Amino acid sequence: MGDTGQFAEIIVDISARSVDRVFHYAVPADLKDRVKPGARVLVPFGARRLAGYVLGFGYPERNIRVREIAGVLDDEPVLTEDLLEIARWMADSYLCTTAEAFARIIAPRLGVKATRAVKLLKPAFPARKSQEVLNRLKHAPKQAAVLRQALLNQSLTRKELAAAAQTSPATVDALVKAGLLEAEILHASNYQEENRIVHSSGGVTPLNADQVKAAREISQALTEGKFGVFLLYGVTGSGKTEVYLDAIASALAAGRQAVAMVPEISLTPQMIGLFRARFGSLVAVLHSGLAGRERYEEWRRVKKNQAPVVLGTRSAVFAPLSAPGLFILDEEHEPSYKQDDHLRYHAREVAIKRAQLSGAAVVLGSATPSLESWFKAGCSGPYQLLKLPHRIDKKPLPQVTVVDIRQELKDGNRGIFSRRLVAAIYDRLQKGEQTILFLNRRGYANFIICRECGHVIKCDHCDISLTYHLDGTLRCHYCNYSARLPSVCPCCGSVYIRPFGAGTQKVEDEAARLFPAARILRMDSDSTARKGSHEKIINAFRQGEADILIGTQMIAKGLDLPMVTLVGVINADTTLFMPDFRASERTFQLLTQVAGRSGRGKLPGEVLVQTYSPDHYSIAAAARHDVEGFYRIELPLRKSLGYPPFSFLVRMLFTHADEAEISKGALLAKEILDKILAGHDNLIEALGPAPAPLGRIKGRFRWQIVIKGRRRSELRDIIRQCLDDLQKLRPSFKPAINIDINPQGMQ
Ligand code: ADP
Ligand code: ZN
Ligand code: ZN
């Protein structure tokens, strides 16, 4: 610490906007060695003692009396220098406080102290005595239950054991006291081996010409240590993963670290296998599905640079790397890269910012890039486009057929399955091949569709499907336009015009009725709520234990299932008419991805897409495998309606338990916004307030204002001013406000 090192500059861990600034504290002599940038400390603040984050050193502006740091919380700094910068950037970009950003960044560490060892309890008698011991406990059923759990799983803590046996920790203590359970102290446990599907051929696959070309561009950037963003656009099955692995090897060769992210935890086991086969113990896995101690252990291995390759979900973007060289986002278009709680960061944006700070490369991989990324990879940059135009071994893409279900109705078939789909499934059953039936998550909003002509009622101003409410009204969630539900279709006059919806359970029931001999598995959020059951279902299906797999989004992504030769999309319209400007894009991406699940083995694949809108361009383009054709239509449409990537959107979400309070509050916020906007050019638009598509969650009503403008920084300034004015005008403002910059969905 030099001359300017007299005072530590600290962000105090308190999430109030009014104190979101640097405070100066003196460093006591005995803490000098441990108070470093990125360290967490304990400081007096008013009458309290709070945690704080050390940013650096300097002097306070005026010669005020500074207080002393009371203690240091960690043995070594938990944050790297670039993460300090990232926290400040997040506060600015996402309108949160710096303390909130820090809390988000270090979240994977929370709950486990550096020095804490884990105490696991296991039976203190040999397994052959189990029955005898359990018999002795006949009159203590709770203790017997605990013991049974301990016999099943020997890696549970006292609390976990009590929870597993649905009793209190005191029961567990009683068993320890009786000498029936004993403790084992564990300092470090690795991610459990049995959770993984190992899936590797071993060794390095020689790349094909397209892969080599893409990998060379990335490795060149890595050697030069230059910041750059690459959009790796490769059709499904084109071998993007091998390019990632090669890029990671280049990063390691350059002495840098790499982070690879996948959109969902369920996809990590497959990737872990590939990564471990190539990089062995250099791989650390970071995601929220790991138990606290595993997560901490992996985090520590990254921090110590024992594991320079990090594989994880979006939060892995905050991995504590000393020399980040590469950030990979597989399936970069997936909305799950956006955090959807109060601090709504996007992992792609954070990765690009971190890469900028450290001269690293970012690789965004997808068969169906987000419109934003595609636009930025256009001829004028700033991203560089890398293409993998062919499937490995020139395997053909599956044949996609669109089935018009309006015709089914006309022909008297009122079921979920078209005749064509029934015939195709029957054919697979006879051949012993597998079928996937895909159903989009049941729409959170009901739109109105005409069963005869497929017409959907939309808002004239926003081109968004109107949502049906139980009081019989139709409403636009962007601008709050409302209308009555018509009694006949405004397009064809049919009376078959009504809300839309079907669930996986219904599909399963009907499939069971139509194909009584078929073995059917269902996978949705209900059936996979238990940890690991997702992998169990996939493994069972992979091993041929079922003929038909029915599922939601979860089965659309990244899985390599060679025996699947038929994919049926039960209804493409659920996504197509979500009340969201990205509805067409999401539909196209989903269909393309679902199609990619078929025909990955030696047998050719077929895809059947059932829809009321067979002529819609996103369905037609997906059926033709025409990715670029889709963008050619979608981009100008977005432009004409002023939606991203030609503008920025911000959603202000207001929530409150009292309905009157929330509409009043949202209206007041809108008035303030209108006043601010009156002083601006008219390129910024504030829509609403309107109830959100999910109008009420857990007893809290939800309203939103959507703001649209050309420049992100300008929008941020306006919202900041709106929040400040609200605070001044109405200090007792009741609804909670959540700001979502560039929302990925607006439920
Ligand atoms: P994508 O992620 O682009 O959909 P994958 O990375 O899953 O594609 O690759 C598809 C299949 O092709 C995988 O089974 C992979 O092992 C195989 N593969 C990838 N590259 C090659 C190569 N150069 N030679 C042979 N097989 C390859
Ligand atoms: Zn109609
Ligand atoms: Zn509207």
Q: What is the mean pLDDT of residues 394-414?
A: 88
- Taking the centre of ligand 2 as the mean of its atom positions, its distance from the CA of residue 325, in whole angstroms, is 55
Q: Among residues of the chain, what percentage have pLDDT more than 70?
A: 90
Tell whether ligand 1 has an atom less than 6 A from the beta carbon of residue 353: no
Looking from the CA of residue 234, the nearest atom of ligand 1 is 3
pLDDT digits (tens, 9 = 90+) for 53-63: 999 999 887 77
Cα(476) to centroid(ligand 3), Å = 5
Are 509 and 492 members of one domain?
no
Point out the domain boundary residue: 142, 163, 191.
191
Nearest-atom number in ligand 1 for the CA of 240 is 3
Any atom of ligand 1 within 6 Å of the Cβ of 524: no
**Residue 545: pLDDT above 80?**
yes
463 Cα to the center of ligand 3, angstroms: 7
Query: Which of 143, 159, 191 lies at the terminal end of a domain, its last residue?
Result: 191
Sheet containing 700-709: which strands, arranged edge to edge? 685-697, 700-709, 648-656, 736-741
Q: What pLDDT is recorded for position 192?
A: 34
Nearest CA to ligand 1 atom 22: 207
- Classify residue 575: in a domain, yes or no: no
Ligand nearest to the CA of 365: 1
Reply yes or no on whether the pLDDT at 644 is more than 80: yes
Residue nearest to atom 9 of ligand 1 (CA): 239
> Long-range pairs for 665-669 at CB < 8 Å and ≥24 separation?
665/703, 665/733, 665/734, 665/735, 666/703, 666/704, 666/705, 666/735, 668/726, 668/729, 668/730, 668/733, 669/705, 669/722, 669/726, 669/737
Between 127 and 343, the higher pLDDT residue = 343
- From the CB of 149, is ligand 1 less than 6 Å away? no
Give me the pLDDT at residue 203, please: 58
Token pair 């993007």 in the structure block, residue: 240
Residues 451 and 433 in one domain: no
Taking 60 as the threshold, does the pLDDT of residue 253 lie above it?
Answer: yes
**Atom 23 (ligand 1): residue with closest C-alpha?**
207
pTM for the whole structure: 0.81
Ligand 1 and 234: CB distance under 6 A: yes
Of the bound ligands, which one is closest to the alpha carbon of residue 688? Answer: 3
Domains in the chain, number: 6
Q: Per the domain annotation, does 582 fall within a domain?
A: no
Residues 485-502: what's their mean pLDDT?
83
Answer yes or no: is pLDDT of 688 > 80: yes
* Identity of the amino acid at 655: T
Predicted local confidence at residue 195, as pLDDT = 30
For residue 740, the surrounding DSSP H or E stretch is strand 736-741
Determine the distance separating the centroid of ligand 1 and the alpha carbon of 239, expressed in angstroms.
3
Q: Is 435 in the pocket of ligand 1 (CB under 6 A)?
A: no
**Would you say the CB of residue 239 lies under 6 angstroms from ligand 1?**
yes
CA angle 262, 302, 99 (to 5 degrees): 80
Query: 422-437 pLDDT, tens per residue?
Result: 999 999 999 999 999 9
Instruction: Pick the range with the lowest mean pLDDT from 9-13, 210-214, 406-410.
Output: 406-410
> Tell me, what amino acid is at 291?
A
Higher pLDDT: 69 or 556? It is: 69
Pick from 74-83, 277-286, 361-370, 478-487 the range whose average pLDDT is largest: 361-370
Q: Which ligand is nearest to the CA of 236?
A: 1
Indicate whether 112 pLDDT > 50.
Answer: no
| 168 C-beta closer than 6 A to ligand 1 | no
Q: Which domain holds residue 237?
A: 201-393
- Kind of pairing between the strands at 606-611 and 399-404: parallel
Instruction: Look at residue 154 in the predicted model and tell me its pLDDT.
Output: 59
Q: Are 597 and 608 in contact (CB under 8 A)?
A: no
C-alpha 631/C-alpha 647 separation (Å) is 17
Parallel/antiparallel/unpaired status of strands 482-484 and 473-475: antiparallel
Q: Is residue 355 pLDDT above 50, yes or no?
A: yes
Residue 588, domain member (yes or no): no
pLDDT tens, residue by residue, 325-343: 999 999 999 999 998 777 8
Q: Are both 158 and 280 inside the same structural domain?
A: no
Q: Is 237 in the pocket of ligand 1 (CB under 6 A)?
A: yes
Q: Which of 191, 225, 241 is the last residue of a domain?
A: 191
For residue 251, the CA-to-ligand 2 centroid distance in Å is 57
Confidence (pLDDT) at 159? 79
The span from the CA of 553 to the CA of 564, in Å, is 17
Residue 336 CA to ligand 3 centre (angstroms)? 26
Residue 241 alpha carbon to ligand 1 centre in Å: 7
Same domain, yes or no, for 410 and 463? Answer: no
Same domain, 45 and 105: yes
Q: Are 558 and 600 in contact (CB under 8 A)?
A: no
For ligand 1, pick from 205, 211, 242, 262 the residue to mutate: most ligand atoms within 8 Å of CB.
Answer: 242
The answer to the question of residue 643 being in a domain is no
CATH number of the domain within which 699 lies: 3.30.70.360
The whole-number pLDDT of residue 152 equals: 66
431 and 451 together in one domain: no
- CATH number of the CATH domain containing 339: 3.40.50.300
Shortest-distance atom of ligand 1 to CA 201: 16
Confidence of residue 501 (pLDDT cuts 50, 70, 90): low
Are residue 427 and residue 455 in the same domain, yes or no? Answer: no
Whether ligand 1 lies within 6 angstroms of the CB of 211 is answered as: yes
Shared domain check, 404 and 387: no
Burial class (CB in 10 A: 0-12, 13-18, 19+), 15: middle
Task: Report residue 663 as tokens.
Answer: 């509409």
Residues 165 and 291 in one domain: no
Distance from Cα 98 to the centre of ligand 2, integer Å: 53
Q: Kindly state whether residue 90 falls inside one of the protein's structural domains.
A: yes
**Which pLDDT score is estimated for 163?**
76
242 Cβ inside 6 Å of ligand 1: yes
Residue 241, ligand 1, Cβ within 6 A = yes
587 lines ligand 1 (CB under 6 A): no
Mutate to test the pocket of ligand 1, among 392, 394, 560, 589 (most ligand atoms within 8 A of CB): 392
Q: How far is the CA of 418 from the centre of ligand 2 (A)?
A: 20
688 Cα–ligand 3 center, Å: 9
Kindly report the CATH number assigned to the domain that includes residue 96. 3.40.1440.60
Tell me if 583 is assigned to some domain.
Answer: no
Which residue puts its alpha carbon closest to atom 19 of ligand 1?
Answer: 239
pLDDT of 191 over the 70 cut: no
pLDDT tens digits, residue range 560-576?
Answer: 677 889 999 998 888 88
Ligand nearest to the CA of 687: 3
Mean pLDDT of 625-644: 93
> Residue 264 Cα, ligand 1 centroid: separation in angstroms?
20
Which ligand 1 atom sits nearest the alpha carbon of residue 596? 4
Label residue 495 exposed, middle or buried (CB < 10 Å: 0-12, 13-18, 19+).
exposed
In-domain check, residue 641: no
Q: Is the CB of 605 under 6 A from ligand 1?
A: no
| More confident: 608 or 109 | 608
Helix residue ranges, H only, 437-551? 504-514, 533-542
Mean pLDDT of 388-416: 88
Residue 597: is its pLDDT beyond 70?
yes
To test the pocket of ligand 1, the residue of 199, 241, 363 to mutate (highest count of ligand atoms within 8 Å of its CB) is: 241
Closest C-alpha to 386, from 590, 595, 633, 219: 219
Mark whether 417 and 539 lie in a shared domain: yes
Considering only CA atoms, which of 234, 248, 237, 236 is closest in space to residue 204? 248
Confidence band for 5, pLDDT divided at 50, 70 and 90: low
CB distance 205 to ligand 1 below 6 Å: yes
Mention every residue, 6+ apart, whose C-beta is less than 8 A from residue 279: 248, 252, 309
Task: Kindly state if the Cβ of 601 falls inside 6 Å of ligand 1.
Answer: no
Least confident span in 258-267, 303-312, 313-322 = 258-267
Judge if 426 and 548 occupy the same domain: yes
Q: Do 385 and 524 fall within a single domain?
A: no
Residue 735 Cβ inside 6 Å of ligand 1? The answer reads no
Structure tokens at 321: 């790397």
Ligand 1, atom 16, residue with closest C-alpha: 239
Which residue in this structure is represented by tokens 């910024």? 684
Q: State whether the beta carbon of 747 lies less than 6 angstroms from ligand 1.
A: no
- The ligand with the least distance to the CA atom of 483 is 3
Task: Give residue 459 CA to ligand 3 midpoint distance, Å.
Answer: 5
Least confident window among 174-188, 474-488, 527-541, 657-671: 527-541
pLDDT of res. 676: 92
| Mean pLDDT rounded to a whole number for the chain | 85
Ligand nearest to the CA of 209: 1
273 lines ligand 1 (CB under 6 A): no
Residue 747 lies in a domain: no
**Spatial CA neighbour of 572 closest among 424, 407, 440:** 440
- Mean pLDDT on 58-72: 84
Of 402-406, 501-505, 620-624, 738-742, the one with minimum mean pLDDT is 501-505
